Amino acid sequence: MAKYDDASWHYGGEYPENLQDENAATHIGMFLTWCIHNNLISEELAEDSQDELQSVKRREMTGGEFLMDVCDEKFSSHDLNDLGNGFAKAYYNDDTAFGKKFNSFADDYSETFDRKAEENDFEYESFYHVEDTFENYDLIKPQIDQRFEEWKEFSGA
C-alpha cells in the first residue's frame, strides 16, 4: 500500500500554530472529493463507508472531514481503484513525468487559490489557510478535471 498523503505529515511539521489540525486535511480532502465524485474509489472503501460517501456526494460532508473521520487522516492507494491510483500516482505525487510536463496537484492547488486571493485582493497566510468548503472545491475541480483528461491521453489510460 502506497501512502499518498497524511494530515499528520503537515500538522506535525512546519505548520501554522494558529490553525487546527483539520486544516492540514483540506487539500487532501479536495482531491479525495474529486475522486469520490468520479467513482475512482476502491470497492472496499465504498462498502465500508457508504453513508459517509453519500454525505460527500450530497455536499453534507467535505472531503477534509471525510479524510479525518473515515480515513484516519491518511490518503493511500487503499482508498482508490486502479484508475484512481494511476491518476494519483502521476498527479498527486510531486516530481513525476506527468507532473513535470503538466503540473502536480499541489502546484495546481496553490496556483488556484493564489489566483482567488489575488482576484479578491487578499493573500492566504499559508497553503493551509484555504477554507475547507465546497465553494473552494468548485474552484479546484475544473483544474483536476483537465488534468485527468490530460493524464488519460498522456498515459493511454
pLDDT value at position 14?
82
The reported pTM is 0.95
pLDDT value at position 138?
99
Give the separation between CA 15 and CA 153, rounded to whole angstroms.
37
Number of structural domains (the chain) is 1
pLDDT value at position 59?
98
The strand ranges marked E within 23-149 are 74-76
Domain span at residue 108 reads 3-155
What are the average pLDDT values for consecutive 10-residue runs of the chain, which has 157 residues?
A: 92 87 97 98 97 98 98 97 98 93 96 94 91 98 98 92
What per-residue string of b and e applies to 144-156 under the rule 16 or more CB within 10 Å gives b?
beebbebbeeeee
pLDDT value at position 113?
97
